[in-house]
Amino acid sequence: MKLPELSESASPEFTDAATAKAWLEHVPLANVAAAQSDLLEQLEEFNSFPAAANQRLGVLEALREAVNFVQIEQAKRFSNRALPMTEQEAEAFDTTIALWDQMMAGYQRCVDGAINKDSGMRAQAALVCTRLLSYIGLRMFHYYRAYREVPAEDWRSLHETYAAAEELDVAEDAVKDFLNRDIQDTSPRIAYARAVLMGLCNPNELAQRQLTFVAYLLERWGNKLEVESKPIDEGEGVPPLVADLKSDACPERGEGNARDPRYLDARKLAKSLRNRVALLRKGESPAKLALGEDCVQPSCEGLLVYLYRQWCQPKPARAAERKPAGRAAEACNELAGIHYYISGRVFKAPSPGGEGGELTQKQREEIATFGRVSTREE
């Protein structure tokens, strides 16, 4: 992750936790867009300010709750909307991603401090690694909510940060996160697992409500995915789930040629999913199975079966192999534009009674046979 240059000329409104809390009292959280803009502007300034690592961490921790609030509210402006986004929706998405970027940049400096043996940060290594992994995961999650492809550099950052947690020997250290909905206990490994499992569930096929439900499950079940340095036999001929910590891609099942492999053990996760599906089929209510009050049958069972296939089984082969392409596809959603790009001509409405008015018998037959009227050139 490329960090902004530090500058003595940077002048944020806060430099430590106390001044950050005092500044927050004057941020208009009732006006979410304005509050998001203020937070983004000040975090950009603060991330260029040469603060001590412990002061930087204090500021970031003080701002987390406010950032979380405005991000959740602003995401409503671009999620669950028709695609492609309008200009205003795209702007809300870009600003939301930019604020996640600034939180990531701040915690990245803290992780760098821990790696460089900063005395204050070494003791906070588990906390700052967990926070950074969580914010990378949140950035990725909002790409899923907007049905956009997650940038490869996000996966690289996720893998590199988990590798840093292993290097610091804090991957399994317990951390509290009181912004979680129900389960506050987490760790660098759990934060990494949550981001990986969200990416593995083929999120672009899920509706917004389903994405929210999967995020809720992963808060509870992220600890069920173990990370090992040696291959895991999950039985039933299931190939290993491999993460390459030197790659910029989502982990996948298969032998592969990973340069720095970690083997993700999903057996506990598979058992939880199988047990709950079996109990649902026997008539147990989703709420009693800790699946939340919003999860109703039969859609609940269907989604759990879907997740089991995505997380715990080999990915089925594609009917037609995907071919790499160097050009970006362009989409058009207006009928006049669609007509132009298909026919090569600007659409002109037929004039009643004039040329191009009523279709002739021959034209009707051509449309019925070929789906269009033939041209003179044909």
C-alpha 15/C-alpha 7 separation (Å) is 14
Identity of residue 184:
Q
Give the pLDDT of residue 297: 87
Q: Are strands 226-228 and 261-265 parallel, antiparallel or unpaired?
A: antiparallel
Picking from 136, 114, 133, the residue whose alpha carbon sits closest to that of residue 123 is: 114
Average pLDDT over residues 316-337: 77
Q: What is the pLDDT of residues 180-190, one digit of tens each?
A: 988 999 999 99
Q: What is the pLDDT of residues 247-286, one digit of tens each?
A: 999 999 987 788 999 999 999 999 999 999 999 999 998 8
Which has the minimum average pLDDT: 27-36, 164-173, 248-257, 362-371? 362-371
Give the pLDDT of residue 254: 86
Q: What is the pLDDT of residues 84-104, one digit of tens each?
A: 899 999 999 999 999 999 999
- Which 8-state DSSP code applies to residue 15? S
294's CB contacts (< 8 A; 6+ apart) are 209, 213
Mapping DSSP onto H, E and C, the string for 326-374 reads CCCCCCCCCHHHHHHHHHCCCCCCCCCCCCCCCCCHHHHHHHHHHCCCC
Give the pLDDT of residue 236: 80
Q: Where are the domains of the chain?
A: 17-266, 336-370
Q: Is the pLDDT of residue 377 over 60?
A: no
Q: What is the pLDDT of residues 14-68, one digit of tens each?
A: 999 999 999 999 999 999 999 999 999 999 999 999 999 999 999 999 999 999 9
Give the pLDDT of residue 313: 92
Picking from 49, 64, 61, the residue whose alpha carbon sits closest to that of residue 6 is: 49
How does the average pLDDT of the chain come out, rounded?
91
Reported pTM: 0.86
